[in-house]
Structure 1
Amino acid sequence: MSSTTRSICRRLSYLHRAKLSLLLPTITQKLAISTAQQKPGWMKDKFSGGRVESLIKQMGFHGLTVHDKESLENASVKLYVSCSEYSDFQLFRKRFDLEDTFSAWADILNLHMWMLATRFNNSDTEYFANDFEFLRARTTYHMWVDIDKRAKQIVRATKIRKKSIRALSDHFLGVVLLYDEGYQTDDKVLAGALWKCLLQAREDVEPKDLLSLVDYVHRNLHHLKSLSDDQFFSGYVSFLPLDSDKPDVEKGKRVQSILTALP
């Protein structure tokens, strides 16, 4: 294990002990509900010319895109909603005995966002490279706006909430680095990353659960790779269930109805 990886692991361990200031019991009664029910702030944040252009540049994106940015912005909203809706926290919580906390919910969401970003980074053509970079930046932005809105339902004090969001951001950056290392190395390293980041390095984790998570990641990365670029630019994507190689048709219909109803 590299010194950088060890440093990340120590940081993640600290963040778990600190509870990110948001680890409150039974919060999913308020938070683990449909993004459509939440009506989060990013739904109102439509592409608005100079203001959004300025934000994109601050996030490190300066390139020209093949698709117009307004259509990409609309697609990025739908992609984030898809990630949020397919991140079935209650199912993951029961299957892997996760804590009923804001942090655990966010970790499941972050896993799906990482898989989506991995697909963006592994397109078969360079022609749409800037378009995918735009989508990556904007889906990430929508995630943080949504997380902040949900956090406001738990922590009203602005200073404490912002401190907690910053801690969560540091946590997410470390998690992404560990997932990337696992994806680029082998399943043993990927399993270790999932154990540390998703299962909080618990000693009671069954090997079969780790194998199930590794398989889930591989199946969905392969599934996302099989989707055409046009599907991402339209914003309509899906994730496979935990225990099936086939999409959940009923869930797909529910997500489709939510996306269709977006303004």
Structure 2
Amino acid sequence: MLFGTLLRHETCRPQLNKICGGSIPTSGAVTQQKRMLHSTIQLLAAKDSLQPSEEKVSAFTKIIEAMGFTGPLKYNKWKIKIAALRMYTCCVERTDYEEFFHRCHMPDTLNSWFLVAQLHVWMCLVRMKQEGRAGKYMCHYIVHSMWEDVEQRGKVMGIDSVTLKESMRSMTENFYAAIFGYDEGILSDDHVLAAALWRNLFSKCCEDPRQLELLVEYVRKQMQYLDAMNGEDLLLTGEVTWRPLVERNAQSILKPTSPAYNDEGL
């Protein structure tokens, strides 16, 4: 199914201005639209090479995990939970939301905040799933922390319980739909990723292809930056840094700084 989708997009590539729902001429637009940051084959090969080898687990571990319990992990589960909370905190506290709202012409609302936050949460999920069973366990608590935070923010804003419950139900549906679209986009070419961003981040309300181009470049460089981070450091600390939306020092992306942690992994 995936290769069928990729072939479909390869033979019928939509232009970015068509994805936006408008036709806005820009300087060098044709050249920029044809430019690919990564070819589909190269990106798929890179992703395959990043996948960790399957962990050898006992039959007993497989049984208890099939029953919904968690088997023994490489690191202490409590440490992983703390790291997951810290990683989610990095998504909401180290992201320049004002710049996103300004450059993407998004209203300053709870929903806009959530759309930007879920994009960064998704990028963390993609990265941590490369760290085997411990990484997948951490992903669960990243998402758990996100929903607790959304609910708390809604209460602080004075949203009544009925409206908040309906909003969270809608956000949940949109979140998992967005994850599916972003996953397809990151494994495909820039046109597919731009379409996913247009549907999910811009809610189909973007009429400027330059905004989509900016976000596509941001996601690509951010995923490259996260992939360069040490997996064990991420599992133990959850410390994530984000590249600026508009890169001012391109050389700084080449080598991410390693986080510091003590003997307890805190």
Please state which band the TM-score falls in when normalised by the shorter chain.
Answer: 0.5 to 0.7
Counterpart residue number, 1:139: 142
Counterpart residue number, 1:168: 171
Deviation at 1:61, TM superposition (A): 6.1
Give the whole-Å Cα distance in 1 for the aligned partners of 2:211 and 2:198.
9
Q: Secondary structure at the match of 1:110?
A: helix
Counterpart residue number, 1:226: 228
Gaps of 5+ in 1: 3-56, 257-262
Among residues 101, 106, 125, which one is paired with 2:109 in the alignment?
101
Counterpart residue number, 1:209: 211
Among residues 74, 77, 92, which one is paired with 1:69 in the alignment?
77
Q: Is the 8 A contact 2:90 2:239 kept in 1?
A: yes
Give the whole-Å Cα distance in 1 for the aligned partners of 2:206 and 2:134.
42
Counterpart residue number, 2:59: none
Q: Is the 8 A contact 2:198 2:206 kept in 1?
A: no
Q: Is the 8 A contact 1:239 1:247 kept in 2?
A: no
- Compare CA radii of gyration and give the structure with the larger one: 2
Counterpart residue number, 1:26: none
Q: CA 1:194–1:61 in 2, change beyond 3 Å: closer, same or farther?
A: farther
Deviation at 1:159, TM superposition (A): 2.3
Give the whole-Å Cα distance in 1 for the aligned partners of 2:69 and 2:146.
17
Q: Is the 8 A contact 1:82 1:236 kept in 2?
A: yes
Give the whole-Å Cα distance in 2 for the aligned partners of 1:246 and 1:151.
39
Q: CA 1:101–1:247 in 2, change beyond 3 Å: closer, same or farther?
A: farther
Among residues 238, 242, 249, which one is paired with 2:241 in the alignment?
238
Q: CA 1:99–1:185 in 2, change beyond 3 Å: closer, same or farther?
A: same
| Percent identity over paired residues | 27
Among residues 90, 110, 122, which one is paired with 2:98 in the alignment?
90
Q: Secondary structure at the match of 2:240?
A: coil
Q: Secondary structure at the match of 1:98?
A: coil
Q: How does 1:14-93 map to 2 (within 5 A)?
A: 62-93=70-101
Give the whole-Å Cα distance in 2 for the aligned partners of 1:118 and 1:61.
23
**Aligned pair count?**
191
Q: Is the 8 A contact 1:77 1:235 kept in 2?
A: yes
After superposition, the CA RMSD in angstroms is 2.6
Which amino acid letter does the alignment assign opposite residue 200 of structure 1? S
The alignment's TM-score, normalised by the length of structure 1, stands at: 0.67
Q: Secondary structure at the match of 1:201?
A: coil
Deviation at 1:155, TM superposition (A): 4.0
Deviation at 1:203, TM superposition (A): 4.9
Deviation at 1:86, TM superposition (A): 2.3
Q: Is the 8 A contact 1:65 1:131 kept in 2?
A: yes
Matched, 1:112 2:112: no
Deviation at 1:62, TM superposition (A): 2.7
Counterpart residue number, 1:28: none
Stretch deviating more after TM superposition (156-165 or 85-94): 156-165
Give the whole-Å Cα distance in 2 for the aligned partners of 1:157 and 1:209.
34
Give the whole-Å Cα distance in 2 for the aligned partners of 1:81 and 1:112.
11
Q: CA 1:161–1:246 in 2, change beyond 3 Å: closer, same or farther?
A: farther
Q: Is the 8 A contact 1:238 1:247 kept in 2?
A: no
Q: CA 1:98–1:131 in 2, change beyond 3 Å: closer, same or farther?
A: same
Give the whole-Å Cα distance in 1 for the aligned partners of 2:102 and 2:112.
12
Give the whole-Å Cα distance in 2 for the aligned partners of 1:99 and 1:160.
20
